[in-house]
Amino acid sequence: MDTYRAIGPLLRLFPAETAHGLALGALRLGLVPPAPTRNDPVLACRVWGRDFANPIGLAAGFDKDARVIDAMLGAGFGFVEVGTITPRPQAGNPRPRLFRLSEDEAVINRLGFNSAGMAAAAAGLERRRKSGRQLAGPIGINLGMNKDTVDAGADYAAAAEVLAPFADYLAINVSSPNTPGLRALQNRAQLEGLVARVGAARTRAVGAEGPPLVLKIAPDLNDEDLAEIAELALSGAIDGLIIGNTTIARPAGLRSRRKSEAGGLSGRPLLALSTEVLGKMYRLTKGEVPLIGVGGISSAEDALAKIRAGASLVALYSALIYQGPGLVSRIKAELPELLGAQGFSRLGDAVGADHRG
Ligand X SMILES: Cc1cc2nc3c(=O)[nH]c(=O)nc-3n(C[C@H](O)[C@H](O)[C@H](O)COP(=O)(O)O)c2cc1C
Give the binding site for ligand X (CB under 6 A).
59-61, 64, 83-84, 98, 107, 109, 111, 142, 173, 176, 216, 245-246, 266-267, 270, 294-297, 316-319
Which residues are registered as beta bridge partners of 115? Answer: 90
Residue whose CB is less far from ligand X, 42 or 159: 159
Nearest distance from residue 132's CB to ligand X, in Å? 29
Per DSSP, the three-state class of 197 is: helix
Nearest distance from residue 229's CB to ligand X, in Å? 16
Nearest distance from residue 17's CB to ligand X, in Å? 8
Residue whose CB is less far from ligand X, 146 or 266: 266
Of 138, 154, 84, 70, nearest to 116 by C-alpha is 84
DSSP secondary structure letters along 156-170: HHHHHHHHGGG-SEE
Nearest distance from residue 311's CB to ligand X, in Å? 12
Nearest distance from residue 113's CB to ligand X, in Å? 6
What residue is closest to ligand X based on CB?
Answer: 61
Q: Which amino acid is at 305?
A: A
Per DSSP, the three-state class of 114 is: coil
Catalytic-residue membership of 256: no
H-only helix segments in the chain: 4-11, 16-28, 69-74, 118-131, 152-163, 188-206, 223-234, 271-284, 300-309, 318-323, 326-341, 347-350
Residue whose CB is less far from ligand X, 54 or 84: 84
Residue whose CB is less far from ligand X, 111 or 139: 111
Residue whose CB is less far from ligand X, 317 or 344: 317
115, 175, 176, 298: the catalytic one is 176
Nearest distance from residue 288's CB to ligand X, in Å? 23
Query: CA 286, 289, 293: angle at the middle one, nearest 5?
Result: 100
Spatial contact of 332 and 54, defined as CB atoms under 8 Å apart:
yes
Residue whose CB is less far from ligand X, 52 or 99: 99
Q: Which amino acid is at 190?
A: Q
Of 244, 242, 249, nearest to 265 by C-alpha is 249
170 phi, psi to nearest 5 deg: -110, 125
Residue 351 CA to residue 357 CA, distance in Å, equals 14
- Chain center to CA of 207: 25
Which of the residues are catalytic? 176
